[in-house]
Structure 1
Amino acid sequence: MPSISEIVKANQPDLASYEELYKWFHTHPELSFQEENTAQAIVKHLETFNAYEIRSSIGGHGIAAKLSNGEGKTILLRADIDALPVEERTGLAYASKVRMKDVDGVEKPVMHACGHDMHITALLAAADTLVRCKSEWSGTLVLVFQPAEERAGGAQNMVDDGLYDKVPLPDIVVGAHVMPERAGVIGTKHGLIASSADRFQLRIQGRQAHASTPHRGIDPILQAASTIMRLQTIVSREVDPLDFAVVTVSAIHAGDAENIIPEEANLKIDVRAGLPETRKRVLASVKRIIAAEAAASSNPNQPTLTPTTQFPLLFNDAAVTHALEQSFSHHFDVGPHGYQTDIARLQGSEDFGILATAIGKPSCFFLYGGTDPQLYDRAEREGRLAEEVAGNHSPFFAPVVRPTLEVGLQGYVIAALTFLEKGG
């Protein structure tokens, strides 16, 4: 019986067409909850395999595809499909020039600045590979192409819309994400792999006045400034340095004219944490500081803190992660330029885990690099990784297509075959 590595190498398709498919997805990004054309293109490609039962429009533009192939376990492989309101500045020949209206009706530039175009293409190529080698495995494969990850709504929406009435309950759920690591790197990690994220809109209502008579008003800009500065003390003075948390004020909008103290200030706040207890404490501190700064400003109007999106903590299951460690270490070269058993965790957040926790099943989320190796190595030598290597959500984020695509698809295929291999 051939090894998993031999099966992958013998059945991987020619990636030239998938490179072009990736470029198409990159050029045609769509915002969360609006991924109609992206979903249609995914379904069209899946149909070419003549092997999958395809269900679309699940929880919005979500897609699930099932391939039943005898007795065995059921594994779910997931890719997210939405893009971000970011204006692309990569200079690529296939750079996005798309503009769309967001959920508030405001037109924004749109870019796949988080690599979801790579996720889609890698999973489609993996789907192709697993059809080609179906004589070598047994069980049920479920592919999920999930919308609205960036807005923390897609996974829950698909579950709520009956995803698991449309496809079998998986025994194992696996996802992946491309990162600003060196291309060729792939890794797993036990335990926490992505932080929680709690996002809010904060409205500070003041009292409008002439700029020359501040005593007649309540300045919401000054109150907002004090609030922003004080929020930064939560992590520096209330969180154990060995722990992890981030509090970011990512937007502030207030005022219009130079000679008017405005009536209100509106802020957007993003809070991350790595432990449930830390998350609880940090969120309590955010609310305490907001209220305290209102009191310090003699403002009788209590600020309004409105939750927008929430991402759960994401933990990799020990048994699933251990199984992938064995398979990955036999296929990829182990080391700093290949497979890593303790890769740096995703500093961002993910709603992927909901696909597993909603049904009480184990999951694992692996990561792989997308940065051009020459660029990465030079920046590392010069101590300029932060300056030279564009991270996720940057307008310069542009994974090099090869070997990123190949590593991503092989990660998906190896994960599937780890649990579906005949005799496994």
Structure 2
Amino acid sequence: MVLLTSFLIATAPLVQAKVWVVDPGGGGDFVQIPQAIAAAADGDTILVRGSEGMDFVVDGKGLAIVADTGLTVPTGAITVRNLAAGQRAVLRGLSASAGAGAFVPSEGLTIENCTGSVWVEDCDFSGDTPVSPFLTAVADGGSVSGSDQVSLVDCTFVGNVGAIPTVSTGGAGLVVENSSVQVYGGSVQAGGGWNQSAFSADNISGGQGGQGLVAVGSFVLLDGAVVLGGNGGIGADAGFFLTNCTAGGDGGTALVANASTVVRRAVTLAGGAGGAGGASGATNCADGQAGASEDLTLVQRTDLAGISHTIEVSPNPVREGQSATVTFDGQPGDLVLLLISPAPAGLYLPSLGGSLLVGSPLFQLAGFGATPASGQLVVPFTLSSFGPGIEVIGLYEQPLVLTVGGQLVLGSGEYVTHLDAAF
């Protein structure tokens, strides 16, 4: 891995930036993420050691907002918008939801109107739960609209549970409109339908489960992801205000796409379970129907063969002088090259069975060799100093794999934050 250190030093002038530390305990530059965003310049890194759970917006700034090593930092709802071409935003290690108590529930993550790159990794997003079940707003786990280059790596999206009495459908896990999105690993899960009760109005069934991933007018690549429809809500038993029981709600569809291109490999799709019908004496009302795995309309679909290939750099962030590892997971006999760049990309290459996630300048690191019988190749390295005056270097990394079957395949990627030892 000496080549990696040499590459870091060589590329440092391209990616010099400042690090701002957020620490609610007072040990950093700021105690809140929004304060750091306001102070940061395009290209800076915000290193988060804790959070007060506030919502924040990244508007027209290319920033990397990353949790410190080993942390998952809770935040409020996150919005990234209006990135111009050439700008890059990174979110890593965050768990975002405004939580219960919102009068107008919001999504955990909103990405909108971004021509530049948005990279989101190792994050969890959930739609809010309204302050009262009688507020009928539904919140999706996340949404992407009007954005050209979005990569979601090892993230979890969960829609909220439907409310009563009429808008009782669960929120979608993720909605993608007029955008290009790569989803690697992680899960996308819709919220369940509302469970009815004997206090509900007559003849209202359990709520329908939400839709897992919805794509409209978009390109979506799914590699190693799990996509689940929401479960149907339970019907109401007879009693109190009800003379009759009500049926259970139908489960939601896992993948719904319209006028889109969908590419997928090693993906799990499962519709939500139907909700149980309510009871009326010795008779039960009908259970809801199970949701479908997919509902595709005017869709160009490509199913790629083989397994997902992934890498993980640990620890991440990694500091000067620190020992670390790059771990590749694949099949025994796979030959692995590591592609590294200070810039991202999002170009689907059918000939390489995936999307190129790293941009230009591109450095190809050879020498990882063949994957052993365990299917896991671990390469240790120690990060040497990259010189005075440099606080941080952020790099996008992705494996290019020559499989035992002789096929070249692009795997998943990782954004790695290399820090000066002072941090």
For normalisation by structure 2, the TM-score amounts to 0.32
Higher normalized contact order (CA 8 Å, seq sep 6+, divided by chain length) = 1
For normalisation by structure 1, the TM-score amounts to 0.32
1 or 2, which has the higher helix percentage?
Answer: 1
